[in-house]
Amino acid sequence: MFDRKEYEGKRALRRWPKWLPVVAALALATAVTVGGTLAWLTAHTNSVTNTFTMGNVDPDVEESFDPDAGTKSEIKVTNNGSV
């Protein structure tokens, strides 16, 4: 007569589109490829050592003083240090 389990199984297969397994397989392959590439790059990069040194500020000030007016003029400041 009527076998309900057999009918439900066929109906369950009809609900899914035929392209869905292909898309799922491509998504899985892409995820595995990207994940493997990132893992390989993380494991095979050289470590970077940052070295910090103190800067040296050595200013040189050149100025002219006008004693009659009591003001300084032509002021030039140059840095001879490493900063």
Rg (CA), the chain: 39
Mean pLDDT of 24-28: 96
Within a domain: residue 10? yes
Within a domain: residue 12? yes
Within a domain: residue 73? no
Q: Kindly report, residue by residue over 39-62, the tens digit of the pLDDT.
A: 998 887 777 888 988 888 899 989
Within a domain: residue 71? no
Q: Kindly report, residue by residue over 5-14, the tens digit of the pLDDT.
A: 665 655 555 5
Per-residue pLDDT, 6: 60
Within a domain: residue 23? yes
Nearest CA to 78 out of 64, 50, 57 is that of: 57
Within a domain: residue 38? yes
How many domains does the chain fold into? 1
Q: Does the pLDDT at position 2 exceed 70?
A: no
Integer Cα distance of 11 and 4 in angstroms: 11
Within a domain: residue 33? yes
Residue pair 23/32 in contact by the 8 Å Cβ criterion: no
Domain range holding 25? 4-43
